[in-house]
Homo-oligomer: A and B are copies of this chain.
Amino acid sequence: MVSKSLKEKFLNQKAVVLWMTRLSGSGKTTLAENLESELFSMGYLAQILDGDNMRSGINKNLGFSAEDREENIRRIAEISRLFLNCGLICINSFISPTNKIREMAKDVIGRDSFIEIFLNAPIEICEKRDVKGLYKAARAGKIKNFTGIDSPYEIPMHPDIEINTGELSVEESVEKCMRIIIERIRS
């Protein structure tokens, strides 16, 4: 078998999972895409996992009940582990609102490979952006159990990286993340 460490050497990187958490509209997707580009331009290979490619594919048979949300995150964590074992960097962008659900993901992935990035934008800013009109729908009662409105978001207690995307520009956010990430992925 070609081991994880052989693949990491081949790719000249250490495999980690960058796990971004926070409300809809906090800038997770923007940051994920910019981090992937920045890493790629430096010669690192990463894969974004997010609602777009998970909910439309492997997790399209899951809804938004508490049970299904947990199964959603469990599968994502297991997929991340497969990518890790192939020497790759995963950039995961999911609301993942509770400590319990993030701890479960950490357990599956392995704590040493898990970099938690908390996008600390206030809900007012997230709601103001409302790119997909989801807050409006949630306020109108058309979406139930919407995180930040009628479903809680638990602040991470010890994130590895905290970014206030309400104050920092995208470039500043990427730079702040990269300072920490680069130390972890340099082989």
Contacts from A to B (Cβ < 8 Å):
1-2, 6-7, 10-11, 33, 36-37, 40, 45-49, 53, 57-58, 61, 71, 74-75, 78-79, 81-83, 85-88, 108
In the complex, the answer to whether B82 meets A57 with C-beta atoms within 8 Å is yes
Q: Name the CB-closest residue of B to A46.
A: B2
Q: Which 8 A-B pairs have the closest CB atoms?
A: A58-B78, A57-B78, A47-B86, A2-B40, A2-B36, A58-B75, A1-B33, A79-B79
- If A11-B45, A45-B7, A86-B45 touch, does A58 touch B79 (CB 8 Å cutoff)? yes
Shortest CB distance A82–B (Å) = 7
Question: Complex formed: what's the CA distance from A86 to B15 in Å?
Answer: 14
Question: Complex formed: what's the CA distance from A7 to B48 in Å?
Answer: 13
A1 contacts across to B, CB distance below 8 A = 33, 36-37, 48
Question: Complex formed: what's the CA distance from A61 to B10 in Å?
Answer: 34
Shortest CB distance A184–B (Å) = 20
Question: Complex formed: what's the CA distance from A75 to B76 in Å?
Answer: 11
Sample 14 A-B pairs with CB under 8 A, ordered by A number. Answer: A1-B37, A1-B48, A2-B36, A2-B46, A7-B40, A10-B45, A45-B86, A47-B82, A47-B86, A53-B82, A58-B78, A75-B75, A83-B83, A83-B86
